[in-house]
A and B are shown apart, each in its own frame.
Chain A
Amino acid sequence: MLLISCPYCGVERPETEFRYGGEAHIARPADPSQLNDEEWAQFLYMRTNTRGLYAERWRHAHGCGRFFNAVRDTVSDKFVCTYKAGEPKPDLDALARASQEKDAR
């Protein structure tokens, strides 16, 4: 069972308290009617589904109830960081390099 750190509560809690919410930083278009079918399909269905570091949404459903974002390695299942909704997306490439360097040491 994963331990996940809620950035609002500031504590690690078991994953059973959390609900997964899909890829992060996909903003709903301000005016969907302006999108053509192709663009709307992209928004609806296309996700990066990265092998490696992935920014994704989680909700502390059985805790504070807040949605937040996390960077998780989809290969090792390791959480690299969690951060509050609205905060900018971290530089995943930089995080991946830092993680590799850490492993190499």
Chain B
Amino acid sequence: MSAHSQNSTQSTRLAHGGRIDRSRTLQFSFDGKVMQAHPGDTLASALIANGVHLVGRSFKYHRPRGILTAGSEEPNALVGVYRHGDQTPNLRATQVEVYEGLMAISQNRYPSLDFDVGAINDVLSPLFPAGFYYKTFMWPKAFWDKVYEPVIRAAAGLGKPPKLADPDHYANLYAHCDVLVIGSGPAGLAAALSASETGARVILCDEQAEMGGSLLSETGSTIEGLPAADWVAATLATLAQRDNVTLLPRTTAFGYFVQNFIALAERVTDHLAQPDANLPRERMWQVRARQVVIAAGAHERPMVFPENDRPGILLASAGRTYLNRYGAAAGRRVLVTTACDSAWAAAFDLADAGVEVVAIADMRATPPEPLREAAARRGIRVEAACVVTGTSGRLRVSKAMLGRLRNDGSVVSAGDVTCDAILMSSGWTPSVSLYSQSRGKVVWNAEHEAFLPGASVQRERSAGSCRGVNGLAAVLEDGYAAGEQAAEAATGAARKGGRLTATGGEASTGGYLGALPHDRNAGRVKAFVDYQNDVTAKDVQLAVREGMMSIEHIKRYTTTGMATDQGRLSNMNALAIASGALGAPLPQVGLTTFRLPYSPTTFGTFAGSSRGDAFDPVRRTPSHDWVVAKGGVFEDVGQWKRTWYFPQGSEDMHAAVARECRVTRQSVGQFDASTLGKIEVVGKDAAEFLERFYTNPWKGLKPGRCRYAVLLNEAGYIIDDGVVGRLADDRFHVTTTTGGAARVFAMMEDFLQTEWPDLDVWITSTTEQYAVIAVQGPKAREVIAPFVEGIDLSNAAFPHMSVASGRFAGLPCRLFRVSFTGELGFEVNVPARHGAKVWELINAEVVKQGGCVYGTETMHVLRAEKGYIIIGQETDGTVTPDDAGLDWAIGKKKFDFVGKRSLSRPDLVAKGRKQVVGLLPVDPKQMLEEGAQITAEANPAKGTPALGHVTSAYWSEALGRTIALAIVKDGRARHGEVLNVPMPAGAVPVKVVDPVMYDPEGTRLNG
């Protein structure tokens, strides 16, 4: 072997071959060490070309680990990659593409990869058997949060989370197609080719950077007379020219949902040194496909022999891929060990490239004759009936122990070989993950010794090696036919019946499931089944001995198959070991369920643009800009931005709210109530409809009058309230709570459409059509009078609970005389587009009258002083009108209304219900906490049920003391009683009072 150049760091890069661009050399760093690579390299292939195999420490035992695979199933080579000044953890080096300046770091080691103190766990491993968490950390309970969990979190685990907010953006798009082909190996390419030939709209996606799958690592095979890789290039060019084809490389189909809805994650910029800032980092494609062809291929299984996890030990197909696709040799002296044919091709390709293959150890007694001949031609030593029984080498494999398999199944030593790499293969496992996600049931196939897709549950078909088809020609034929059939099923296009010719790529025979026999002390050696979770063959056997019968239990007890590859590497070996230990046939042990995502998918991809300001729509009221300019403080109420309070000068919230309350009660306050839900109810039967819908009687309400309205659900509990004004015989203006607007509207629609379709009523949401400005206080009339035309504002003509249409500042207006403060009050409804202007006009008058603007906090205080409830604060879905003291709002004589029948249910009329009361803390400065429980005694015995809880608590400026509302068992009968609110600092004594704590006669209201 010859190095690329004397100055290169690429010690094991071959002089020729591979699909990398040798005309350019890139610099990258790994753990600070600068190395060289070429465009086309992955981080894994570049490291291997630089002779680096040690890339991480294992999860539990901190064992040195190397690159095992060349794909997304990689369990060991998880790295952090720096970008935008922060690092993204847990990226698979086999998927990270090298660009100029790439900075990557290893994970799960301290202080360094070569010397890691956590490796003590490996020595102490007898202390960490399977199920160790369940056995060890049971007691005492408090130790879990404080001691065990933090220590384990720090010692185990993968990479560190990034510290900064994700600076990238992500996109989300929808697509429809006739045929979605997942995987671009021989089956997928053939399927995309034949499907698109019919004119069907085809999307072809593949998780790798370059399409072609296994064909990119092939040597010696031809398709349609072209070398395999050339056929790939020609086919991709053909597909790219077709308008009906979308090619998506670097795109993982990670989720298969019902009705052929498939989620794809496309990595757009991670491979670029300087990506266009306008490009998203990743795109989530949500594809609705008429037909799906799954061409996911097969995964090679590791061999489960003792110490099978040293750096330098790779899957045979990965070694072949690094050689043929990247021109990187896995080592200088390579041992190939296998139970099947395909690994021999890796040995031959290495030998042909000038790498020393020290031996092929095949566990079969008689490997196929043609393979042995081909090995003999190359002078490769072949050991049949031979297994690896152990390895040595601290940070890289340096020696393998061989063992001879005897007829009785025992193993005797067959000597050692020195090597710096081992390529291994136990055979191939069809990738049934996506089929399984589509809710298909896999079926055990004894001939293939594999679970294969059974019947299709959705409109999909598997093609190629993912359904057990073996050999290049057969796979191409299967893929081609699948593409044609899918296109025909999707569009009705007739099949053309073409086919592709191929040579080479013969079917691979052989294979082995489970742990290999060996002559070592079984209690002391570690043969890894699941690399990422550090699960050994011994752990699986222990789980069975401890009573785990099903693979689902074994999986959770040992964590085998719970790695990020969801057991694609480990499941079949684990199953076979469990099956042997249980003495039950393998299919009887069962297969765990594959779930989405197929491989780890970033949160960013799921979130897409739903972050920051774009996370949720923001609804702003007409006064918004004015409030911003005046320094008002907002709070979020659902999607609305409502003004919370208006601090002046150095006021804090308490001072501002106290002032707003005082000024409003003394002179006048102005409040933006535009968020109230508003529904126009119109029609001949409008009154009849409201009669049936709300608790109150409506038929007797005269035009020009309003009424407080209570809405129940059918179970009799309060769910909304508001004010309903009658504008004409057949027209009502209904208001709802801010949060209940959409819900009440939908409920009205429900009853009108499904229960009472005979009523002549139509409803329209007018919430956003009106700006609503509340003017409340003794000077309210003076404030609005200058603007009002056509409405007599006198008490006699326009008393409390009136409504009228007129003009306000020349604009059409609906004026309500209503109050949520207990003061004389008006609500001015003008078209929303004029809201900002009217707000300012009114404010000028408010200022003249010595008034102020107030926010939601003051609104809450003023209404609480008057005992007015707020839906969702005093009510929680279990409060009846009687509980809330709203019995007066019930039209008891009405024939029916929603919830009426429930009001006589036994438990709703039972004694001892919780009722709304006012609370006055005995210490008038003592503020209660909302949600605090209420008890009779100051120090109740443990287990004493609470009598109720505090629902609202405020400083009342008008009363010069703290107040609260609460719901308390038999509350109305307790007026005058002193109860307790137990708090951590001691119980707070409170006096139960009527909820109307201010102006109980209501004289101010009628001023």
Which listed residue (B261, B715, B754, B901) contacts A85, Cβ 8 A?
B754
> In the assembled complex, which residues on chain A have CB atoms less than 8 Å from the CB atom of B457?
76
Q: How far is the CA of A61 from the CA of B765 in the complex (A)?
A: 14
What is the bound-complex CA distance between A32 and B757, given in angstroms? 18
Instruction: Identify which of residues 38-82 in chain A touch chain B, using a CB-to-CB cut-off of 8 Å.
Output: 40-41, 44, 57, 59, 61, 65-67, 76-78
Contact B757 A65 (CB under 8 A): no
Q: Which residues of A contact B896 (CB under 8 A)?
A: 31-33
B639 proximity list for chain A (CB < 8 A): none
For A21, the chain B residues whose CB sits under 8 A away are 750
Q: A62 → chain B, closest Cβ, in Å?
A: 11
B906 proximal to A (CB < 8 A): yes
Instruction: Tell me the complex Cα distance, A27–B751, Å.
Output: 11
Q: Which residues of B contact A40 (CB under 8 A)?
A: 901-902, 905
Q: Tell me the complex Cα distance, A19–B288, Å.
A: 21
Query: In the docked arrangement, what's the CA distance between A102 and B684, Å?
Result: 50
Contact of A88 with B by CB under 8 A: no
Q: How far is the CA of A61 from the CA of B754 in the complex (A)?
A: 14
- Is residue A28 contacting chain B, with contact meaning CB distance below 8 A? yes
Answer yes or no: B746 CB below 8 A from chain A CBs: yes
Partner of A33, one of B715, B749, B753, B901: B901
- Within the complex, which residue of A19, A57, A86 is in contact with B757, where a contact is CB–CB below 8 Å? A86
Chain A: CB-nearest residue to B263: A1
Complex contacts, B261 vs chain A, CB 8 Å: 1
Chain A CB within 10 A, most for which of B715, B753, B755:
B753
Per-residue CB proximity of A1-35 to B under 8 Å, as 1/0? 11100000000000000010100000110011101
Contacts of A27 in B (CB 8 A): 755
| B259: interface (CB < 8 Å) | yes
Kindly state the separation between the CA atoms of A85 and B715 in the bound complex, as whole angstroms: 24
Contact A32 B900 (CB under 8 A): yes
Question: Known: A32-B896, A32-B901, A86-B757. Contact between A3 and B288, CB under 8 A?
Answer: yes
Interface check A37, CB cutoff 8 A: yes
Chain B, residues 411-448, CB within 8 Å of chain A (1/0): the string is 00000000000000000000000000001000000000
**Residue of chain A at shortest CB distance from B455:** A103
Task: Choose one: B439, B746, B902; the contact of A44 (CB below 8 Å).
Answer: B902
Q: Told that A59-B746, A59-B749 touch, could you supply 16 new A-B pairs with CB distance under 8 A?
A: A1-B259, A3-B259, A19-B746, A28-B714, A31-B895, A32-B901, A33-B901, A37-B905, A44-B715, A44-B902, A59-B750, A67-B749, A67-B750, A76-B258, A78-B258, A85-B754
Residues of B706-728 whose CB lies within 8 A of A: 714-715
Which A residues lie within 8 Å of B715 (CB)?
Answer: 44
How many Å from the CB of B82 to the closest CB on chain A? 36
Residues of chain A contacted by B288 (CB below 8 angstroms): 3
Whether, in the assembled complex, B606 has its beta carbon less than 8 Å from a beta carbon of chain A, the answer is no
Q: Interface 1/0s, chain B 744-760, versus A by CB < 8 A?
A: 00100110011101000
Residues of A within 8 A of B714 (CB): 28, 44
- Chain A residues lying within 8 Å of B753, measured Cβ to Cβ, are 66-67, 85
Residues of A within 8 A of B798 (CB): none
User: How many Å from the CB of A5 to the closest CB on chain B?
Assistant: 11
Establish whether residues B750 and A28, one from each chain, have CB atoms under 8 Å apart when the complex forms.
no
B755 to chain A: which residues have CB within 8 Å? 27-28
Chain A residues with CB below 8 A from B439, complex form: 76
Complex: how many Å from CA A66 to CA B750? Answer: 9
Instruction: Show 8 A/B contacts (Cβ-Cβ < 8 Å), sorted by A.
Output: A21-B750, A31-B895, A33-B900, A44-B714, A59-B746, A67-B749, A67-B754, A78-B258
Please indicate the chain A residues that have their CB under 8 angstroms from the CB of B286 in the complex: 1
Closest A residue by C-beta to B742: A61
Please measure, in the bound complex, the distance between the C-alpha atom of A28 and the C-alpha atom of B757, giving whole angstroms. 13
Contacts of A3 in B (CB 8 A): 259, 288
Give the residues in chain A near B257, CB-CB below 8 Å: 1
Interface size on B, residues (CB 8 A): 24
Contact (Cβ within 8 A) B746 A61: yes
Q: How many interface residues does A have (CB within 8 Å)? A: 26
Near A by CB (< 8 A), chain B positions 223-269 give: 257-259, 261
Query: A87-104, CB under 8 A of B: which get 1 and which 0?
Result: 000000000000000000
Closest to B715 in A: A44
Query: Distance (Å) between the CB of A46 and the closest chain B CB?
Result: 13
Q: Which of chain A's residues have a CB closer than 8 A to the CB of B895? A: 31
Q: Which residue of B lies closest to A3 (CB)?
A: B259
Q: What's the minimum C-beta distance from B859 to chain A, rounded to whole angstroms?
A: 31
Q: Which residues of A lie under 8 Å from residue B746 when comparing CB positions? A: 19, 59, 61
Cα distance A8–B936 in the bound complex, in angstroms: 58
Q: Min CB distance, B254 to chain A, in Å?
A: 15
The one of A2, A35, A57, A67 in contact with B258, judged by C-beta atoms closer than 8 angstroms, is: A2
CA distance A27 to B757 in the complex (A): 13
Cβ-defined contact, B259 with A35, below 8 A: no
- CB A19 to nearest CB in B, in angstroms, measures 7
Q: Which single residue of chain B is at the shortest CB-CB distance from A86?
A: B757
Smallest CB-CB A-B distances: 9 pairs:
A32-B901, A67-B753, A28-B755, A3-B259, A77-B258, A1-B261, A67-B754, A40-B901, A85-B754
Rounded to whole Å, the gap between the CB of A38 and the closest CB of chain B is 11
List the B side residues contacting A78 at CB < 8 Å.
258
Q: Which residues of the partner chain B approach A86 to less than 8 Å between Cβ atoms?
A: 757
Contact partners of A1 in chain B: CB under 8 A = 257-259, 261, 286
Residues of A within 8 A of B900 (CB): 32-33
Structural contact, A37 and B757, CB atoms closer than 8 A: no
* Nearest CB on A from B287, distance (A): 11
CA distance A85 to B753 in the complex (A): 8
User: How long is the Cα–Cα vector from A76 to B258 in the complex, in angstroms?
Assistant: 9
A98–B616 Cα gap in the complex (Å)? 44
Minimal beta-carbon separation of A93 from chain B (angstroms): 23
Nearest CB of B to A99, in Å: 13
**B259: which A residues are within 8 A, CB to CB?**
1-3
> Shortest beta-carbon distance, A98 to chain B, in Å?
18
A3 to B174: give the CA distance in the assembly, Å: 14
Q: Which of B747-804 contact A (CB under 8 A)?
A: 749-750, 753-755, 757
Within 8 A of A (CB), among B863-920: 895-896, 900-902, 905-906
Q: Give the distance in Å from the alpha carbon of A85 to the alpha carbon of B756 in the complex.
A: 12
Q: How far is the CA of A66 from the CA of B714 in the complex (A)?
A: 21
Q: Report how far A66 CA is from B754 CA in the complex, Å.
A: 10
- Nearest Cβ distance between residue A80 and chain B, in whole angstroms? 13
- Measured in the bound complex, the distance between the Cα atoms of B286 and A13 in whole Å is 14
Closest Cβ neighbor of A29 among chain B residues: B901
Give the chain B neighbours of A59 by CB distance below 8 A: 746, 749-750
Kindly state the separation between the CA atoms of A86 and B905 in the bound complex, as whole angstroms.
30
Residue of A nearest to B907 (CB): A37
Query: CA A9 – CA B757 in complex, angstroms?
Result: 19
Interface residues of B in 285-328 (CB under 8 A from A): 286, 288
- The complex places the Cα of A85 from the Cα of B905 at a distance, in Å, of 30
The interface residues of chain A lying within 8 Å CB-to-CB of B757 are: 85-86
Bound-state CA distance A21–B755 (Å) is 14
Residues of A within 8 A of B258 (CB): 1-2, 76-78
